[in-house]
Structure 1
Amino acid sequence: MFDWDNARRRLDELNAYAEDPNIWNDPDRAQELMKERQHLETRIKTVQQFDQELEDAIELESLGDSEEDEDTVQEAQEALRDLQGRVQKMEIESLLSGEADANDTYLEVNAGAGGTEAQDWAHMLRRMYVRWAESQGYKVEQIAETPGEEAGIKSATLRISGHNAFGWLKSESGVHRLVRISPFDSQARRHTSFASVWVYPVIDDRIEVEILDKDVRVDTFRSSGAGGQHVNTTDSAVRLTHIPTGIVVGCQSGRSQHQNRAQAWDMLRARLYERELKRREEAAQATADQKSDIGWGNQLRSYVLQPYQMVKDVRTGVERTDSKKVLDGDITDFLEAALAQKVAPDQDAEDEDARA
């Protein structure tokens, strides 16, 4: 899965580039190559570490068997199971080879209909993604937020930065459903709430997205979140509406309208780029009729807190009964299953071609 020989060959090429003093004549290109070099070095060292851990565990188990030491055998087997889990995760990561998988990502959360209950659910979802991103060592920046009237949020936009951030999270776009006893209902009745998530990649200047000025409406307004006296007393927040597609993006995290405008244009370019990626993917996979099995539009996952505990992914069938851990950011199982399912049709096609 890792394509070891080509990875070693590419690292040798990058090491040769790094020794060329002329490489920094183009700083952007140099940084890109150095980033690729660091990533490859890390992956290669990880594989070498796996090899060493495997040898150590096998040797330890053999020693335990020869001395009839059950504790040593058990320790070796636990080490092998842990190693197996990490190798499987790396196999999944090696499948993140899409056009924008390695990029940073924007993630939007929007409350569905239902007032305070739905807005509180949107807040819980945002917290879940922040917790997951931080556990992966990613940097999280809040770009925009619209608070709810009584609690929670109506919407929020995050920028999550780190290698493969978009690749990991791209499968999270869709509708998320919560079932629980509402803390806002004096009669303690069970409520069902919905919130939507939209994930799209951050793109750099090498990717050209043509946007005509006449197709974009620009609105400015006062920020509603924290940010200091300047942010809250001037029309520094910016909202862009792309008229042909209806796409709307907004930014209020910067200290000036100029900063927010620049960020909003980057977000709009990213949304249009993601839209084109999706159009191409759907055209290439015209047989993807599985979407018709999903209720509530594009429902992705159900989170049930009462009368029992269960989180179930509609697409992959993955279920968890530890809902609190999931809402605390432990969602990697769901991400891995969605990614594996996404690449499975491609792998099946390759196997079929090989048999033919």
Structure 2
Amino acid sequence: MSDLLSALEKKIKKFSVEITLDGEDDARDALVSINAGAGGTDSQDWAEMLFRMYTRWMDKKGYKFQIIDYQPGDEAGIKGATIRVAGENCYGFMKVESGVHRLVRISPYNASGKRHTSFASVFVYPEIKDEIKIDIDESDLRIDVYRASGAGGQHVNKTSSAVRITHLPTGVVVQCQQESSQHRNKEIAFKVLKSRLYQLEKKKQDKKMQTLHDGKDDIAWGSQIRSYVLHPYRMVKDHRTDFEMGDVDRVLNGDLDPFIEGVLLS
């Protein structure tokens, strides 16, 4: 009987979560941008830990993902990365991860062994397909090509195949370096640019759609959505719902559903 009740509770919770995913863009695929904050090597290492956490979560969900951009850190970790994620209600689930993530631990990069706080930001955008018309004037673009720096395990092209596109009117910058073809990198970067510009336009038209894009200016260091504490105790806490989990390793290995579902159901 207890097993039956447990199975029933899981089905009810799954249904409760699914009915919250009724937003205009919730069914879309997602573009996830992870960036290290101030704090040098520690923050860059933390950004890479988040990158690993999210890709493991994507694997668990059965989502397909592609690394669009990967910028290695100066000594360790990453300065930033962008991931394209595809799957059922992908954006609907991932949109709640947008914000500042805070890590507290003993720094492995500090010889004195002091406790250190690192920050990294996560921004999630819905991927806009070709049926959404975003007019982009070629004269408003600056396109730069450069040599790919490469990510672990990724093919590194020795020629200048990486592409960076700057949309001059808005200052939006996107880049892609993961494909060996400059043409393919430009195509992917242009698609990301369209998605970013769509977000800016949507925000102007409907200020109430805060779940789509709260804006970087609204998310300051210190106003984190979640804290991951490894010292002096071990705990992950979501500051929006006050949900806590003591098994930090489990969370960092991709067990994010309790946090995501908690926000969606709050």
**TM-score, with structure 1 as normaliser:** 0.68
**CA offset digits 1:100-122 (Å, max 9, x no partner):** 11111111111111111111000
Match of 1:317, SS state, is: coil
Q: 2:99 — aligned with what? A: 174
Report percent identity of matched pairs: 53
| Pairing 1:86–2:23 present | no
Amino acid at match of 1:237: A
Aligned in 2, Cα 1:319/1:153: closer, same or farther, shift over 3 Å? Answer: same
Match of 2:70 in 1: 145
**In the alignment, which residue of structure 2 is the partner of 1:40?**
none
Q: Deviations over 1:88-146 (max 9, x none)?
A: 12221122121111111111111111111111000000011001111010012111101
Deviation at 1:276, TM superposition (A): 3.2
Following superposition of structure 1 onto structure 2, how do residues 182-331 of structure 1 map, counting pairs within 5 Å? Answer: 182-226=107-151, 227-228=154-155, 231-283=156-208, 296=221, 298-331=223-256
Question: What is the distance in 2 between the residues matched to 1:277 and 1:92?
Answer: 25
| Corresponding letter in the other structure for 1:203 | I
Alpha-carbon distance in structure 1 between the residues aligned to 2:66 and 2:164: 18
C-alpha distance in 1, partners of 2:243/2:228? 12
For these two proteins, the number of residue pairs brought into alignment is 257
User: Conserved in 2, the CA contact under 8 Å of 1:147 and 1:155?
Assistant: yes
Partner of 1:332: 257
**C-alpha displacement at 1:193, in angstroms?**
0.2
CA 1:219–1:85 in 2, change beyond 3 Å: closer, same or farther? same
Letter of the 2:113 counterpart: A
- Distance in 2, Cα, partners of 1:277 & 1:321: 38
**Structure 2 unmatched ranges of 5 or more:** 211-217
Q: Normalized per residue, which structure has more strand?
A: 2
Q: CA deviation at 1:268?
A: 0.5
* Cα distance change, pair 324–240 in 1 and its aligned pair in 2 (3 A): same
* Alignment partner, residue 110 of structure 1: 35
Conserved 8 A contact 2:17-2:265: yes
> Which whole-Å CA distance do the structure 2 matches of 1:138 and 1:86 have between them?
21
Larger helix proportion, structure 1 or 2?
1
Change (3 A) 1:202 1:84: same
State the partner residue of 2:26. Answer: 101
- Separation in 2, partners of 1:272, 1:295: 22
Amino acid at match of 1:338: V
Matches of 1:298 and 1:259 in 2, distance apart? 38
Structure 1 304/133 Cα, relative in aligned 2: closer, same or farther at 3 Å? Answer: same
The structure with the largest alpha-carbon Rg is 1
**Aligned residue runs from structure 1 range 39-58, under 5 A:** none
The one-letter code sitting in structure 1 at the alignment partner of 2:5 is L
Name the CA distance, whole Å, in 2 between partners of 1:208 and 1:294: 29
The secondary structure found in structure 2 opposite 1:276 is helix
Shift of 1:298: 4.7
Which runs of 5 or more residues in structure 1 are unaligned?
1-75, 286-292, 342-356
TM-superposed deviation, 1:262? 0.4
One-letter code of the match for 1:172? E
Aligned 1:338-349 pairs, distance under 5 A: 338-341=263-266
Q: Deviation at 1:202?
A: 1.3
